[in-house]
Amino acid sequence: MQKKLENPDEIWLIDLKDDDMKVGLDYGKISLFYTYDRMQAQLRGQLAKAINKIAVGRAVQSCLHRELEKKFLDFEVDKTDYKIENGWDIMTQDGSKLDIKSFHIFSDYKSDRPELTREIILNGNVGDDWRLFFPMLIPQDQFKTATKDYYVFAFIISNMIKSCPEAGDKPRFLITIPHAKDNPEKDIIREFTRKKSATLRVQNNETFKLRIIGEIDLFKRTFAVGYSDITGKACSEEFELGSNEEYFISGLTGFHYLRLLGPCPVAKNERVCTITFYQNEKNIISWTAIGSNFSDAWLYNAKVLFIGWTDSESFMKATKQYPAWRPADDWKENAPWEDEETDRKGELTKVSFCYQYPVVFRGGTKNRNYYCLPKDLFTMDSIGVLFKSEDE
C-alpha cells in the first residue's frame, strides 16, 4: 500500500559501493559523446565532471537495483545501447516504466548550509533560502516528451571532484581530453572529439590515427585511450609509456579520452605526454597533456539517499500547489521569472517551475523544472506495490 513520506527514517540511506561507481564510470566514459552536455562541462574541457555527471546516474541505478533485488524479484533493467538516449531505468512486471532522477549534492563546498541530514531534507520547504530547499526536479522538456509511469528521486552525497594534484596520493580515475583551454586551435581539436564529426567519418569510411609520446623525464606509466573504431564502436586500448617512448593507434573515427591508470599522482605542471592527430598521413595538430589537465572522476565515501517515489499523475498534481521558485534577486545569473505555460489547447495554465537550482557551481540546472517536495512522495518501503515480492 502506498504511504506518503512522513518520517526521516523512511528515507533510505545507503553507502555507494565501489562496484556501483565502476559501473557508472565504465558507462560514462563510453557514452559521453552521445549524452546531452547540459552543463557544457565537456565543451569547457572538464571531462571528469562531464563523465561524473553521467556516472552518478548509473551508479545510483546500480545501487537501487541491488536494494530492490533484496526484496522484489520481477523487474527488468533498461539495457539500451549507449548511443541511444535511454527512455527508462526499470520496468515493472505489468510493463510500467520507472525513471530514477538523481541529484548530486557536494558535502564539502563552502556555505553556511547546515550538515545534510534526512531531517533537513524532509523538512525543507519552498523559500528564498536554497540551503533549506530540496525540490524533487524533473526538467520540463523531459517530462513533456517522455513521461514515465513512475519516478524515484535520490540524492547522492559526496565530496567534490578533485583536480590534480589535489586528487591526493592515490587517485583512482584520472582522466582528461584535449580542449580549447589548452589550445587556441579549438575548432581543429573539436573535429576529433565531436560526435557529429565521428558519425560522418563512420559514414564516409574515414579514419585518423594517434601518435602518443611520453614526455622527457616521464617515468613508466600505464595509459588508456578511449576512441571510436571504424564502425563507431567505443574501444579502449591500454599501453605503457616511458620518457620519449611512442605508441600508435590507427583506425579511429573519434577520440574519447586519455586516462592514467593506477594510483599515480601527477604534479600540476608536469608534462605527461603529447598526442598528435594524423589524417591522411598528415600531422593535423598536437596536444600536450600536463598534470593540471587531469581530474579524478571517482567519488569517495559517497552515500545515496533514496527519498521516495511517485507516479506521474500524483507528481503533476503536487507540483501545481507550489509557487515558481528562483534564487534571490541579487543572484547575477538569474533565470527569468515565469510561472505559466501553454497547454495542449493553447491556453495559459498556472504551473510551478523551479529555476537555477542550486545557485552554486555556475547555477546548477538553468532550465525549467517541474518540482514537488519530499513530503509529496511515497515511501521507498511502499514501492513493493509495483513489483512482485519474494513471498508471492
User: What does the mean pLDDT of the chain come to?
Assistant: 78
Comparing 346 with 68, which gets the higher pLDDT?
Answer: 68
Mean pLDDT across 7-31: 88
Sheet strands side by side (includes 295-296) = 162-163, 295-296, 174-176, 254-261, 221-228, 234-241
The CA distance from 111 to 353, in Å, is: 25
The CA distance from 121 to 119, in Å, is: 5
Mean pLDDT across 44-65: 77
pLDDT score at 175: 85
pLDDT score at 119: 93
Sheet strands side by side (includes 369-372) = 136-139, 369-372, 353-354
Helix (H, G, I), strand (E, B) or coil at 53: helix
Show Cβ contacts of residue 31 under 8 Å, excluding neighbours closer than 6 positions: 54, 82, 83, 234
Mean pLDDT across 331-350: 50
pLDDT score at 43: 47
Res. 233: pLDDT tops 80: yes
Calculate the CA 213 to chain-centre distance. Answer: 31
Query: pTM to 2 decimals?
Result: 0.79
pLDDT score at 332: 43
**Range in 223-237, 316-330, 364-378 the model is least confident about:** 316-330
The CA distance from 25 to 27, in Å, is: 5
Instruction: Tell me the H-state helices in the chain.
Output: 18-31, 47-69, 118-123, 140-145, 186-193, 195-204, 312-319
Comparing 244 with 116, which gets the higher pLDDT?
Answer: 244
The CA distance from 56 to 19, in Å, is: 12
Res. 324: pLDDT tops 60: yes
